[in-house]
Structure 1
Amino acid sequence: MANKKGNNTAGMVWEIAEPIAKDLGLQLWDVRYVKEGAQWYLRVIIDKEDGVGIDDCEKMSRALDAPLDEKEIGQNQYILEVSSPGIERELVREEHFDQFIGADVMVKMIRPIEGIGKEFKGKLKSADKQTVTITDHSDENEITINKKDTVYIKLDDFDF
C-alpha cells in the first residue's frame, strides 16, 4: 500500500501520478513498488466510474513516462505496469473503505479466527485507520478485525 505523504518510492510516484490521473478523468487507486524475483515492478492502479479500458491504461502509462524518468524514481530499473483494480478490487486505502461501507467483501486473515477460519465473507459495516467491522454472512455476527492481521480485504462482486 502506498503512502501518499511518505517520501518512499510509491509515495513519490503517487504525488506524480495523481494529478495526471485526474487530468485523464481517472482515479488513482493505488501505487505499489515491489520486487518479484530479481525484477522490480512499479504498479500504478487506476479506476473510473464506468470501468478502465486498455486505452486508459495506455494513456496513463504514456503520460507517466517522462515525469518518472525526470524524477529518477526508484533506485533500480523497474517495469511500469498500469492496470485497473479488477472486479474483486482490494480495499487498501482509507478512502476505499469509506467508499464501500455497506458493500459485500471477502476477507483472508493471516491466522484463522476461532470459529470462523482464515477466510470469510460479509458486509463492510465500518472502518477506521486500524480496524474494520464486518457483518459475517454466515451468522450475521459482527466481527472487528485489525487490518494488519489480514492478507486482503476485497470487494465480493459475485453472487453467493
Structure 2
Amino acid sequence: MSTTQSERLRELVEPLVTARDLDLEEVTVTPAGRRRVLQIVVDGDSGVSLDTCAELSREISTVLDDTDAMGENEYVLEVTSPGADRPLTAHRHYVRATGRLVRFQLAEGGELVARLLKADDAGLDLEVPGVKGRKPTSRRLEFPEISKARVEIEFNRKERTAEAGPQHAEQAEAEQAPKPKEA
C-alpha cells in the first residue's frame, strides 16, 4: 500500500502538532518556481500564537531534515494558522467560531449571514441580525442545510456582555455602575 507525499508528511508532522494540543488542519505542497512550498496549517481552541508557529516550524524542520520526505529538491516551510475568514468545514471549526458572524451558503440555495451562538452535534443556534431597526431573530440551522460557511471579518464589532455569559454580564454591569464616593 503506497502513501502519497502529503499523507507521509502528515504522519511525520501530526505528533509534533498534537503534542502542543493543536489540530493539524492542512498539509499542502505546491510548486513555486524551482522549489516547492510546504504549508502546514495548525489551529487550537484558543488560536495559535506566532511564537508557537515559530517553535513548531523549527521542530518540523528538524524532523524533515532527518528524513527524505521532501526529497532532494529545495523547499520553503511555512507553519501558519488558518486565516480569520477561513472556511468552516469541521465541527470543531464551528465550535471555535462561536460568537462570530458567519456567512452561510445554504444547500437549498441562498445565503444567510448570522451570529453563531452555539454548535452541537446536529447543527447550530444562530442570531440573525435585524434589518432596518428590527430586532434580531433566533434560527436553528442543521448541518445538512449548510453548503459552505465562512467567518466574516468584523472591524467595528462591539463586545456584547450577554455572549460572555451571565457571570460576565453581572461583572460588566458592576464595572459600569457609578462607584460611591468615599468619605
Same fold, TM-score > 0.5, yes or no: yes
Instruction: State the structure with more CA Rg.
Output: 2
Partner residue, 2:167: none
Which of 98, 107, 115 does residue 122 from structure 1 map onto? Answer: 115
Partner residue, 1:45: 41
Q: Deviations over 1:17-75 (max 9, x none)?
A: 2221244x351341231547767532222345665333322221111123334142489
Q: Choose 65-74 or 104-113, whichever is displaced more.
A: 104-113
TM normalised by structure 1 equals 0.59
Choose between structure 1 and 2 for higher RCO, CA contacts under 8 A separated by at least 6 residues.
Answer: 1
Distance 1:35 1:64, change over 3 A: same
Q: What is the CA–CA distance in structure 1 between the aligned matches of 2:68 and 2:90, rounded to whole Å?
A: 25
Distance 1:146 1:68, change over 3 A: farther
Query: Higher strand share goes to which structure?
Result: 1
Q: Deviations over 1:61-108 (max 9, x none)?
A: 1111233341424898643211123555543334434x4485434125
What secondary structure sits across from 1:17 in the alignment? helix
Distance 1:101 1:33, change over 3 A: closer
Q: What is the CA–CA distance in structure 2 between the aligned matches of 1:140 and 1:49, rounded to whole Å?
A: 25
RMSD: 4.1
**What pairs with 1:7-156 in structure 2 (closer than 5 Å)?**
7-23=3-19, 25-33=20-28, 35=30, 40-48=36-44, 51-69=47-65, 70-73=67-70, 78-88=75-85, 90-97=87-94, 99-100=95-96, 102-109=98-105, 113-114=109-110, 117=111, 120-123=113-116, 124-127=118-121, 132-138=123-129, 139-146=137-144, 149-150=147-148, 152-154=149-151
Question: Is contact 2:85–2:150 with CA below 8 Å preserved after alignment?
Answer: no
* Identical residues among aligned pairs (%): 19
Question: Mind listing any 5+ residue stretches in structure 1 that lack a counterpart?
Answer: 1-6
Q: What is the CA–CA distance in structure 2 between the aligned matches of 1:50 and 1:140, rounded to whole Å?
A: 26
Q: What is the CA–CA distance in structure 2 between the aligned matches of 1:127 and 1:101, rounded to whole Å?
A: 15
